[in-house]
Amino acid sequence: MDGSTKPSESDWGPFGRPLFDEASSRRLSRVGVIDIGSNSVRMVVFDGAARSPAYFFNEKVMCELGAGLATTGRLNPEGRVRALAALKRFHRLGVGMNTGPLTAVATAAVRDAEDGAEFCADVLRETGLRILVLKGEQEAAFSAQGVLLGWPGSYGLVCDMGGSSMELAEVNGGRVGRRMTSPLGPLKLRDLKGGKKGRKAQIKDYVARMREHLGEQRNRLFLVGGSFRAIGKIDMERRQYPLKVTHEYRMSARSLRETAHYIAAEDPEALRIRASVSASRMALVPYCCDVLREVVSTFKPHDIAVSNYGIREGLLYQQMPQRLRDRDPLIEACSFVESRDARMPGSGKAVYKFVEPLFKSVPDDRKRIIKAACLLHDVSWRAQPDYRAEDCFDNATRANLGGLKHTERVYLGLALLHRYSNNRDSSRFAELNELVTEKDQHEAEVLGKAMRFAAMLWPSQDPKLGKLKWYPKKKQLDLVLTRDAQELFGEVAQARFASLAQTLEAEPHVRIGRA
């Protein structure tokens, strides 16, 4: 959709109403989406920053609507009952949360079942919810757009595993390209005749067809769907990976092969408990592994990343004007949090301008993390002081943020930890220090201490009170203060400036002049 014109009713898509007009381009009022999948029925309510919406509410029920579909051609009768009950609950919740009309979409099971239309009619009669049944290529496109919500400008192949289907879609420079659907969902594979040999032949045949249609795809492979997230969790458990955040978790082809062997060799019940995977999801994981191994073997991506974003997020992305899509989701989310939680919203920009001279030589992708840290530097002031530094670290490393690698999460968390504490020895950082280099640890500490000092000088958004000058070759750190800022440079501020200089191994100098 072209952002230069106001969307017409035909552009509104499944929501039936505009979500991103001029007045609300920076904020998103509550929007409820229901995803009726072959395995689960989920309701998500989005709120917050429009470009990087937060999950105000998120609930799923494992209904297995697609169980038995391959043999009966009909939806699972028990699943229909459970799904209808869940949808009644979700409808009432939407009214209570003031979401406006809920948007409900259904995927492969409802699309393929001979009684799918009957199920939709039952839902409409009982709840008033009108279900949009997505075609396979639509499902693939929305999943790919969900990935683009978190990874702007991505290149690669999006693989979305549902209960009854598996879709592939290419993303290229922030656009969705060719896409294709297949009946390679685990519920269908489980019910397929011919046993393991028959499943292997079907998987190989369909993946080969998809390779012929999509061509060579050797960039990143993005994994979408609960079963793939479960495989990511198990890979983390096998590797004893220290950060338990599935979004942006990376795997190699070799790691995936080792995890598939690990799954086959371990006791499923014990493994699912260790990896925090539900029993119903764990039962489908072996079938998903078979499909994923064939996809990786056929397309040979350079790496594999798990995405927590999919169809539901893609529905929002579909309606965003291009000017909103082009914004950085991390910076948008941090700006929104600052406007909501900081004591003095807007001071983050002044702090960034102040600390920027210390990081002139860092690349742009690092500067965006530095900017994010500055926007968040004052949002945790309500936390109990003894735990404030630890809370900052935990919030950054565990936050539901897009556009943030795991290494960047830890860097951001460490910088915010040092915003409130000179020392990290007793913090939880020790558990995650293997994810960042010593050089990056030092840089994050410098950033944290620079923000810690800057907070003493900026009781407002005025960036003209002073500036830093850093001469790395001479190891000299200059602080230039205006006369108006002299009185702000008290004992505590002096101590924090000295601590920053010590971390830089620099000689500190202070002078009064024109900033």
DSSP letters, 407-429, are: HHHHHHHHHHHHHH-S--TTSGG
List Cα–Cα distances, 499 to 200, 423, 504, in angstroms. Answer: 62, 11, 9
Which residue has 């040999």 as its token pair?
Answer: 197
What whole-number distance in Å separates Cα of residue 249 and Cα of residue 436? 15
Q: Say whether both 206 and 60 belong to one domain.
A: no
Q: Say whether both 290 and 352 belong to one domain.
A: no
Q: Say whether both 60 and 190 belong to one domain.
A: no
Structural domain contains residue 8? no
Residue 125 pLDDT level (bands cut at 50, 70, 90): very high
Q: At what angle do helices 438-457 and 406-420 cross, to 10 degrees?
A: 40
**pLDDT at residue number 483:** 85
Region 308-334 average pLDDT:
92
pLDDT single digits (tens) 136-185: 999 999 999 999 999 988 999 999 999 999 999 999 988 999 999 999 99
pLDDT single digits (tens) 435-471: 999 999 999 999 999 999 999 886 666 667 789 999 9
**pLDDT at residue number 20:** 74
CB atoms within 10 A of CB 436: 21
What the block records as the tokens of 388 is: 């404030």
**pLDDT at residue number 3:** 41
Region 222-232 average pLDDT:
97
Q: Say whether both 51 and 91 belong to one domain.
A: yes
CB atoms within 10 A of CB 405: 15
Q: Say whether both 144 and 127 belong to one domain.
A: no
**pLDDT at residue number 424:** 87
User: Could you report how far apart the first and last alpha carbons of the chain are, in Å?
Assistant: 45
- Going through 207-254 in order, the beta strands assigned E by DSSP cover 220-224, 250-251
Please give the share of the chain, as a percent, with pLDDT higher than 70. 95
Structural domain contains residue 335? yes
* 61: phi then psi, degrees, rounded to nearest 5: -130, 130
Q: Give the DSSP H or E segment for 158.
A: strand 156-161
Encoded amino acid at 228, one letter: F
DSSP annotation string for 36-47 = E-SS-EEEEEEE
Residue 23 pLDDT level (bands cut at 50, 70, 90): low
Residue 7 pLDDT level (bands cut at 50, 70, 90): very low
Q: Say whether both 366 and 281 belong to one domain.
A: no
Count of domains for the chain: 3
Q: Which of 10-14, 30-34, 411-415 has the lowest mean pLDDT?
A: 10-14
Structural domain contains residue 322? no
Whether 22 has a pLDDT exceeding 60, the answer reads: no
What whole-number distance in Å separates Cα of residue 228 and Cα of residue 287? 11
Q: Say whether both 355 and 494 belong to one domain.
A: yes
Whether 346 has a pLDDT exceeding 70, the answer reads: yes
Residue 414, classified by CB atoms within 10 Å of its CB into exposed (0-12), middle (13-18) or buried (19+), is: buried
Residue 64 pLDDT level (bands cut at 50, 70, 90): very high
What whole-number distance in Å separates Cα of residue 184 and Cα of residue 189? 6
* 214: phi then psi, degrees, rounded to nearest 5: -90, -15
List Cα–Cα distances, 399 to 87, 225, 392, 393, 453, in angstroms. Answer: 28, 19, 10, 10, 25
Secondary structure tally for the chain: helices H, strands E:
21, 14
Q: Say whether both 279 and 413 belong to one domain.
A: no
**pLDDT at residue number 2:** 41
DSSP annotation string for 456-515 = HH-SSS-TTSEEEEEETTTTEEEEEE-GGGGGG--HHHHHHHHHHHHHTT-EEEEEES--
pLDDT single digits (tens) 365-386: 999 999 999 999 999 999 888 8
What residues contact residue 151 under an 8 Å CB cut-off, 6+ apart? 222, 307, 402, 403
pTM: 0.91
Q: Say whether both 356 and 244 belong to one domain.
A: no
Q: How many Å separate Cα 310 from the centre of its chain?
A: 10
Residue 14 pLDDT level (bands cut at 50, 70, 90): confident
Whether 9 has a pLDDT exceeding 60, the answer reads: no
Region 67-82 average pLDDT:
95
What residues contact residue 315 under an 8 Å CB cut-off, 6+ apart? 13, 14, 15, 33, 103, 105, 142, 145
In contact, 246 and 409? CB cutoff 8 Å: no
Which contacts of 420-425 are long-range, i.e. CB under 8 A and separated by 24 or more positions? 420/380, 420/388, 420/389, 420/392, 420/452, 421/388, 421/389, 422/449, 422/452, 422/499, 424/389
Q: Give the DSSP H or E segment for 256.
A: helix 253-265
CATH of the domain at 348: 1.10.3210.10
Domain boundary, last residue among 104, 134, 164: 134
Q: Say whether both 228 and 368 belong to one domain.
A: no
Structural domain contains residue 323? no
Q: What is the CA radius of gyration of the chain?
A: 25
Q: Say whether both 129 and 201 belong to one domain.
A: no
Q: Which of 264-268, 319-323, 403-407, 495-499 has the lowest mean pLDDT?
A: 319-323
Q: Say whether both 340 and 300 belong to one domain.
A: no
Domain boundary, last residue among 74, 108, 134: 134
What whole-number distance in Å separates Cα of residue 44 and Cα of residue 32? 6
Structural domain contains residue 184? yes
What whole-number distance in Å separates Cα of residue 7 and Cα of residue 133? 23
Average pLDDT, the chain: 92
User: Domain residues for 372?
Assistant: 329-512
Region 311-315 average pLDDT:
95
Whether 12 has a pLDDT exceeding 80, the answer reads: no
CA dihedral 47, 52, 57, 59 (to 10 degrees): 150
Whether 26 has a pLDDT exceeding 80, the answer reads: no
What whole-number distance in Å separates Cα of residue 139 and Cα of residue 119? 19
**pLDDT at residue number 113:** 97
CATH of the domain at 241: 3.30.420.150
